[in-house]
Structure 1
Amino acid sequence: MRLPAVATVLLLSTTGCVKEISSEERLDRETQFLGASGSTPDAVALGKIHCDDTDDALNLARNVNRPETDRVLSYIDLYTSLMRRNATFEEAMNRNPDLHYTEGSQGLVAAREKCILQTADVRMEFETYVRELVEVPTVQEIKGGNTVTVARLDFNILRQAIEALNPDDKETLLNRVVNAEKKVAPPKVEEEPAAAPSPSPSRRRGK
């Protein structure tokens, strides 16, 4: 099963403070380093990559108490992370078929299969959620005593999600987002013509 490549979404922290990174972030950094080094990872390097540590990230994306924009971003991060790991496994094993037969190769093959299955499961869940948002992208709210149509989430983030998934009907989904944006666009207020200045009162000349 060959998985399509997707654009990598990189989030850079600009806070300047040191924070503890999660195991998923650490694996992503190792995966990116292996891909940037230009060499094919050996069995030891490849053995550091796995996809059985995504429960926390997935629970974050599933949390219905979080804003929907944040949930979509979590799905994007998780899905693209899994895709990077799959791509590393695929490239390494295609370039070096001996990895299938070296000592510990069963572990590598099992880790690769786990990544493939985990990516497929996350994609299905992610895509189902995105299609739900595209189907019902707005909600009704009461503002100032009036019922107005507002967006359920940041439409630019929804577009990023569609691009990451890259489904066959991508253009159709993107067009539906554009149409939804038109429904929540604030109405244009026509400027009234400037009123003619009122004549200044005549001044009576004293005698």
Structure 2
Amino acid sequence: MLRRLSAPTAAATLLLLSASGCVKEISSDERLDRETQNLSAKEMPGAAELEKLTCEDSTEALIKARNVNRPETDRLVDYIELYSSLRKRTATFEDAMNRNPDLSYREGTQHLVNAKDNCIQQTADVRVEFETYMRELVGVPTVQEIKGGNTVTIARLDFNTLRQAIETLEPDDKDTLLNQVNAAEKRVAPSTPAGDESAPASGGGRKRGR
């Protein structure tokens, strides 16, 4: 005689039979993780753009910017360009590694981590030097020169370049520094074009002034 199964028992049996025939599906994240594990370091997303990126080539540009025998406007332009370039390269490293954290931890990517760290350090070091020079120029932005027996105030460098340097660095006291530059510009003799640095500020009858 067949025994009729109760409703709860039948439901449990059906559920068990159904479960035994199911194939577990992996999530998209798990699938991506498995696929990523099979990639070499150079094939990982973002790695290709970082392989050719370096900040070790900044020495020559830095030496050029430090050259005290060059016009101060030119030196400041070099600092602006070098710092902006280093900052951009550092951001590229950080963005790529934020998009793909495996670039920081996978075997074979340590050289990318080292390159990123070098860019961060280079950017920080150049910023300190660049900002020190910028503040020196803001502090003494004009020189005095003897013309026709009279002492006139002339620009030590191009004021627009000095403003650009301040904007590039974006220090906390940016507005104060810009106001100082604007005030200095008003003291310059109208007949003297800013940025005329044909002679060093320390010679040729010139003396620095505020």
Do they superpose with TM above 0.5?
A: yes
Query: Which stretches of structure 1, 4 residues or longer, exceed 6 Å deviation after superposition?
Result: none
Aligned residue pairs: how many? 148
Residue 134 of structure 1 aligns to a residue whose secondary structure is helix
Measure, in 2, the Cα distance between the counterparts of 1:176 and 1:185: 17
2:103 matches 1:93: no
Alignment of 1:150-165 (within 5 A): 150-165=154-169
- The whole-number CA distance in structure 2 between the counterparts of 1:102 and 1:118 is 25
Question: Aligned-pair distance for 1:95?
Answer: 0.7
Alpha-carbon separation, structure 2, partners of 1:171 and 1:89: 31
1:142 aligns with 2:135: no
Cα RMSD (Å): 1.5
Structure 1 unaligned blocks of 5 or more:
1-39, 188-207
Q: Which has the larger radius of gyration?
A: 2
CA deviation after TM superposition for structure 1 residue 42, in Å: 2.2
Aligned to 1:200: none
Q: Match of 2:152, SS?
A: strand
Task: Give the aligned partner of residue 137 of structure 2.
Answer: 133
Q: Match of 1:58?
A: 62
Aligned to 2:38: none
Counterpart of 2:48? 44
Q: Secondary structure at 2:81's aligned position in 1? A: helix
Does residue 174 (structure 1) correspond to residue 178 (structure 2)? The answer is yes
Q: Which has the higher helix share?
A: 2
Distance 1:104 1:72 in 2: 39
Task: For 1:41 and 1:83, locate their aligned partners in 2 and report how far apart those are by CA, in whole Å.
Answer: 22
Separation of aligned partners in 2, 1:63 and 1:110: 29
Q: 2:161 is aligned with what amino acid?
A: I
Aligned partner of residue 70 in structure 2, secondary structure: coil
Deviations 1:161-180 (A, max 9, x none): 00000000000000000000
Distance 1:147 1:123, change over 3 A: same
Aligned to 1:73: 77
Offset of residue 144 of structure 1: 1.7
Give the share of equivalent positions with the same residue, in percent.
70
Q: Which runs of 5+ in 2 are unaligned?
A: 1-43, 192-210
- Aligned partners of 1:78 and 1:138: how far apart in 2? 25
Instruction: Give how far 1:103 is off.
Output: 3.9
Partner SS state of residue 75, structure 1: helix
| Alpha-carbon separation, structure 1, partners of 2:103 and 2:78 | 33
Give the aligned partner of residue 36 of structure 1: none
TM-score relative to the length of structure 2: 0.68
3-state SS in 2 of match to 1:46: helix
